[in-house]
Structure 1
Amino acid sequence: MAHEAEPVRAPFSYSNYDVTFRSSDKVLFHLHKMVLSKASSFFEGMFTLPPNPDSPGEPQIVDMTEDANTIDHLLRMCFPVPHPILATADELMLHFAPARILALHPRFLEPTSAGMPPEYADIPASAIWALVEYRKRCIEVAREAVDDSDATQWMATECPGREPVWISRKGRVMSVTGSWAWVACTDPVHPARHVQVGGRANSLLYVRDWWTVYNAAAKKELRSLPRGEVVRRWAVLQPAVEDAVTCRQCSPKAWKDLLEYSQLLAKRIDSLTSLVEIKLPF
Structure 2
Amino acid sequence: MRTVYVNGDYLSEDEAKVSIFDRGFLMADGVYEVTSVLDGKLIDFDGHAVRLQRSLDELDMKNPISKEDLLEVHRELVRVNEINEGMIYLQITRGAPSDRDFAFPDPETVPCTVVLFTQNKPGLAANPVAQKGIKVISIEDIRWGRRDIKTVQLLYPSMGKMMAKAAGVDDAWMVKEGYVTEGTSNNAYIVKGGKIITRPKTNDILHGITRAAVLRFAEEAQMTVEERNFTIEEAQDADEAFITSASAFVMPVVEIDGAQIGDGKPGSVAPRLREIYLEESRKVAI
TM-score, normalised by the number of residues in structure 2: 0.24
Structure with greater helix percent: 1
Which has the higher Rg, Structure 1 or Structure 2? 1
Task: Determine which structure has the larger strand proportion and give its number.
Answer: 2
